[in-house]
Amino acid sequence: MISLQVFYEGHVQGVGFRWSVRDVAKGFDVTGWVRNLADGRVELHVTGDDDEVRAFLDGIRQGELHSLIHKQTENKLDKPVTARGFDIRHD
């Protein structure tokens, strides 16, 4: 199992980015959440089998969202993401 925090920069707010990420997540055995940040980035937390998480992130990068993403930064998390399924957070 792996847990990651991922930040997306680019034209990632106001374009349905979070909803598209949630739709991509439905095709993978991952849990987590995605939310907008005040500085214009989108933050994603995800937990799952290493291969499944990597495939999920590749699905985001290679899908319809790829042209909106200018930079992606990953950080490993020490604890698994506490979530049921994959949600959009509004906090």
Residue 87 domain-assigned (yes or no): no
Residues catalogued as catalytic: 18, 36
Domain hosting 20: range is 2-76
Q: Which two tokens stand for residue 52?
A: 């499944």
Does position 84 have pLDDT exceeding 90, yes or no?
no
In the sheet with 2-10, reading across from the earlier edge strand, the strands are: 69-76, 2-10, 42-48, 30-36, 86-88
pLDDT digits (tens, 9 = 90+) for 27-65: 999 999 999 999 999 999 999 999 999 999 999 988 888
Per-residue b or e along 44-65, where b marks 16 or more CB atoms closer than 10 Å to that residue's CB: bbbbbeeebbeebbebbeeeeb
pTM over 0.85: yes
What total of structural domains would you count in the chain?
1
- CATH classification of the domain holding 25: 3.30.70.100
Does position 66 have pLDDT exceeding 90, yes or no?
no
